A and B are shown apart, each in its own frame.
Chain A
Amino acid sequence: GNSVTQMEGPVTLSEEAFLTINCTYTATGYPSLFWYVQYPGEGLQLLLKATKADDKGSNKGFEATYRKETTSFHLEKGSVQVSDSAVYFCASAPSGTYKYIFGTGTRLKVLA
């Protein structure tokens, strides 16, 4: 079936460190892929998305590349800030459906 697997957190980094949060998916066909961020007490906000293989989504210094060969959509940022502390969710929407399938989320904590 369709699923999304994220690396378990929490991930604790110092400010200006490099961030990678791994995400892999299983799906039939070619799903659209998303990263959402959830700050404490808030709903989910779209961070970036990619809709086809080799697409790179980017926003606010975050990037993720749709890798069909490894069924991955890893989130990266070159230099994290304290304000990036949040929970990050990877999601897929299998082609031909409207259903988002979310990973379990990865909590990021950035220390000053």
Chain B
Amino acid sequence: EAEVAQSPRYKITEKSQAVAFWCDPISGHATLYWYRQILGQGPELLVQFQDESVVDDSQLPKDRFSAERLKGVDSTLKIQPAELGDSAMYLCASNRDRGSADTQYFGPGTRLTVL
């Protein structure tokens, strides 16, 4: 069964450093999402791509966060500089289209700890 791949699974960094996370969605899935999940809470959407285009980044802290999906396949989420409050699980998800009834498939996540 196809899965969403993410790496690294764990990342520990010091504040003010740069970090990057990678996601490879299920083959053929045009839509890709990045979520942030703070411990004890549900995931919150950071950014959504349709192919290579950003369609929603309204919740992305653009002063320090950036995301790209250059060829419309895999994607990178970057934080620079990292802050203590960025410690969280970063989840990637994908689905075939943007319809609300279409299931989103999640990767295993990257757990970020900022010291």
Contacts and interface: CB of A to CB of B under 8 A. Distances in A.
A36 B105 CA distance: 10
Given A44-B91, A45-B106, A99-B56, A104 B41 contact: yes
A93 interface: yes
Given A43-B91, A46-B105, A93-B101, A98 B42 contact: no
Provide the main secondary structure of the chain B interface: loop
Given A45-B106, A93-B101, A99 B91 contact: no
Interface string A27-48: 0000110101000011111100
**Interface size, B (range):** 20 to 34
B109 to A, nearest CB: 5
Interface of B: 4, 6, 31, 40-45, 48, 56, 91, 93, 98-101, 103-109
Interface of A: 4, 31-32, 34, 36, 41-46, 49, 51, 89, 91, 93-100, 102-105
